Amino acid sequence: MFKKLFGKGQPPADEDAFAVIRRDYARLLIQPSGRELELALDSWTWLRPPKGQPLLVSAFGDMFFRGANGILMLDTLEGDLRPVAADGFELRARLAEPEQQDELLSSVWVQAAERQGLVLESGECFDWSVPPALGGRIAVDAITKLSFVVKADLAGQMHEQIKALPPGTKINRVTISD
Protein backbone atom coordinates (compact mmCIF):
# COMPACT_ATOMS: atom_id res chain seq x y z
CA MET A 1 0.00 0.00 0.00
CA PHE A 2 2.81 2.44 0.94
CA LYS A 3 4.45 1.83 -2.44
CA LYS A 4 1.20 2.55 -4.31
CA LEU A 5 0.66 5.80 -2.43
CA PHE A 6 4.20 7.18 -2.49
CA GLY A 7 5.79 5.42 -5.44
CA LYS A 8 8.54 3.60 -3.57
CA GLY A 9 9.03 0.97 -0.94
CA GLN A 10 8.65 1.76 2.73
CA PRO A 11 11.88 3.22 4.18
CA PRO A 12 13.88 1.05 6.56
CA ALA A 13 12.59 1.33 10.12
CA ASP A 14 15.86 2.81 11.37
CA GLU A 15 16.15 5.59 8.78
CA ASP A 16 15.19 8.13 11.45
CA ALA A 17 18.14 6.94 13.54
CA PHE A 18 20.50 7.83 10.68
CA ALA A 19 18.87 11.25 10.30
CA VAL A 20 19.47 11.85 14.02
CA ILE A 21 23.09 10.67 13.70
CA ARG A 22 23.64 13.02 10.74
CA ARG A 23 22.18 15.89 12.76
CA ASP A 24 23.84 15.18 16.13
CA TYR A 25 27.29 14.32 14.75
CA ALA A 26 27.37 16.64 11.74
CA ARG A 27 30.85 17.97 12.52
CA LEU A 28 32.19 14.40 12.61
CA LEU A 29 30.65 13.51 9.23
CA ILE A 30 31.01 14.65 5.64
CA GLN A 31 28.39 14.61 2.89
CA PRO A 32 30.07 13.51 -0.36
CA SER A 33 28.05 13.56 -3.55
CA GLY A 34 26.82 10.36 -5.14
CA ARG A 35 29.51 10.63 -7.82
CA GLU A 36 32.24 11.17 -5.19
CA LEU A 37 31.05 8.07 -3.31
CA GLU A 38 31.05 6.01 -6.50
CA LEU A 39 34.60 7.08 -7.35
CA ALA A 40 35.80 6.61 -3.77
CA LEU A 41 34.56 3.02 -3.69
CA ASP A 42 36.17 1.97 -7.00
CA SER A 43 39.38 0.79 -5.34
CA TRP A 44 37.58 -1.12 -2.56
CA THR A 45 35.86 -3.77 -4.71
CA TRP A 46 38.37 -6.36 -3.46
CA LEU A 47 36.85 -5.95 0.02
CA ARG A 48 33.30 -6.41 -1.34
CA PRO A 49 31.41 -3.61 0.43
CA PRO A 50 27.62 -3.87 0.22
CA LYS A 51 26.01 -2.58 -2.96
CA GLY A 52 24.69 0.96 -2.86
CA GLN A 53 25.94 4.13 -1.32
CA PRO A 54 27.11 4.44 2.26
CA LEU A 55 24.62 5.65 4.86
CA LEU A 56 27.25 7.80 6.60
CA VAL A 57 30.82 8.95 5.91
CA SER A 58 33.08 10.06 8.75
CA ALA A 59 35.27 13.16 8.55
CA PHE A 60 38.23 10.76 8.12
CA GLY A 61 36.54 9.04 5.16
CA ASP A 62 35.32 5.85 6.83
CA MET A 63 32.05 4.64 5.32
CA PHE A 64 29.05 2.97 6.96
CA PHE A 65 26.80 0.61 4.99
CA ARG A 66 23.69 -1.43 5.59
CA GLY A 67 24.69 -5.05 5.09
CA ALA A 68 22.75 -8.29 5.24
CA ASN A 69 23.57 -8.67 8.94
CA GLY A 70 23.54 -5.07 10.12
CA ILE A 71 25.62 -1.93 9.81
CA LEU A 72 29.16 -2.35 8.46
CA MET A 73 32.07 0.09 8.63
CA LEU A 74 34.61 0.33 5.84
CA ASP A 75 37.63 1.49 7.84
CA THR A 76 40.06 3.30 5.53
CA LEU A 77 42.79 3.38 8.21
CA GLU A 78 42.75 -0.36 8.92
CA GLY A 79 41.65 -1.44 5.45
CA ASP A 80 38.84 -3.65 6.64
CA LEU A 81 35.07 -3.99 6.55
CA ARG A 82 33.53 -4.98 9.87
CA PRO A 83 30.15 -5.08 11.57
CA VAL A 84 29.59 -2.25 14.06
CA ALA A 85 25.88 -2.41 14.90
CA ALA A 86 22.76 -4.46 14.26
CA ASP A 87 20.89 -1.41 12.92
CA GLY A 88 20.75 2.37 12.98
CA PHE A 89 19.26 2.43 16.45
CA GLU A 90 22.16 0.43 17.89
CA LEU A 91 24.69 2.58 16.04
CA ARG A 92 23.05 5.71 17.44
CA ALA A 93 23.20 4.23 20.96
CA ARG A 94 26.88 3.34 20.52
CA LEU A 95 27.68 6.87 19.35
CA ALA A 96 26.14 8.28 22.54
CA GLU A 97 29.27 6.97 24.31
CA PRO A 98 32.36 9.21 23.86
CA GLU A 99 34.67 6.19 23.47
CA GLN A 100 32.50 4.89 20.66
CA GLN A 101 32.41 8.30 18.96
CA ASP A 102 36.18 8.18 18.96
CA GLU A 103 36.38 4.56 17.76
CA LEU A 104 33.80 4.93 15.00
CA LEU A 105 34.05 8.61 14.01
CA SER A 106 37.57 9.57 15.19
CA SER A 107 36.06 12.38 17.27
CA VAL A 108 39.26 13.09 19.22
CA TRP A 109 41.22 13.51 15.99
CA VAL A 110 38.53 15.69 14.40
CA GLN A 111 38.67 17.95 17.46
CA ALA A 112 42.48 18.02 17.25
CA ALA A 113 42.31 18.97 13.57
CA GLU A 114 39.84 21.75 14.35
CA ARG A 115 42.15 23.08 17.10
CA GLN A 116 44.92 23.18 14.48
CA GLY A 117 42.69 25.39 12.32
CA LEU A 118 41.89 22.72 9.74
CA VAL A 119 38.41 23.23 8.28
CA LEU A 120 37.01 20.84 5.71
CA GLU A 121 35.67 22.24 2.47
CA SER A 122 33.15 20.42 0.30
CA GLY A 123 34.67 17.23 -1.09
CA GLU A 124 37.41 17.01 1.55
CA CYS A 125 38.13 14.75 4.49
CA PHE A 126 40.88 14.50 7.06
CA ASP A 127 43.78 12.12 6.58
CA TRP A 128 47.28 11.41 7.84
CA SER A 129 50.18 13.00 5.96
CA VAL A 130 51.78 9.53 5.66
CA PRO A 131 49.43 6.54 5.96
CA PRO A 132 50.01 4.74 9.28
CA ALA A 133 49.94 1.41 7.38
CA LEU A 134 53.11 2.64 5.65
CA GLY A 135 54.77 3.75 8.88
CA GLY A 136 53.21 7.20 9.26
CA ARG A 137 52.49 8.61 12.68
CA ILE A 138 49.06 9.06 14.20
CA ALA A 139 49.64 12.45 15.79
CA VAL A 140 48.08 15.90 15.79
CA ASP A 141 50.78 17.39 13.56
CA ALA A 142 50.29 14.55 11.04
CA ILE A 143 46.63 15.40 10.33
CA THR A 144 46.01 16.96 6.96
CA LYS A 145 43.12 17.58 4.55
CA LEU A 146 42.69 15.73 1.29
CA SER A 147 40.08 15.18 -1.36
CA PHE A 148 37.74 12.46 -0.05
CA VAL A 149 37.84 10.66 -3.40
CA VAL A 150 41.65 10.74 -3.54
CA LYS A 151 42.02 9.60 0.07
CA ALA A 152 39.58 6.70 -0.29
CA ASP A 153 41.03 5.65 -3.65
CA LEU A 154 44.63 5.71 -2.42
CA ALA A 155 43.73 3.89 0.80
CA GLY A 156 41.84 1.17 -1.08
CA GLN A 157 44.72 0.60 -3.50
CA MET A 158 47.31 0.62 -0.71
CA HIS A 159 45.42 -1.79 1.55
CA GLU A 160 44.80 -4.18 -1.33
CA GLN A 161 48.54 -4.24 -2.07
CA ILE A 162 49.67 -4.75 1.54
CA LYS A 163 46.88 -6.99 2.87
CA ALA A 164 48.87 -10.22 2.54
CA LEU A 165 52.15 -8.85 3.91
CA PRO A 166 53.23 -9.97 7.37
CA PRO A 167 53.23 -7.26 10.07
CA GLY A 168 56.48 -5.31 10.14
CA THR A 169 57.29 -5.88 6.45
CA LYS A 170 59.45 -3.04 5.14
CA ILE A 171 57.70 -1.36 2.22
CA ASN A 172 60.09 0.17 -0.29
CA ARG A 173 57.66 1.10 -3.03
CA VAL A 174 53.96 1.78 -3.53
CA THR A 175 52.28 1.70 -6.94
CA ILE A 176 49.17 3.84 -7.44
CA SER A 177 47.02 3.80 -10.59
CA ASP A 178 44.45 6.21 -11.99
Is 116 within 8 Å of 140 (Cβ atoms)? yes
Q: Are 56 and 73 in contact (CB under 8 A)?
A: no
Q: Is the sign of the CA dihedral 20, 39, 35, 120 positive or negative?
A: positive
Q: What is the Cα–Cα distance from 54 to 24, expressed in whole angstroms?
A: 18
pTM of the model: 0.88
Report H helices in 25-147: 34-41, 88-95, 98-105, 107-115
pLDDT tens per residue across all 178 residues of the chain: 445 555 555 555 778 899 999 999 999 999 999 999 999 999 999 999 999 899 999 999 999 999 998 999 999 999 999 999 999 999 999 999 999 999 999 999 999 999 999 999 999 999 999 999 888 999 999 999 999 999 999 999 999 988 887 877 777 766 666 6
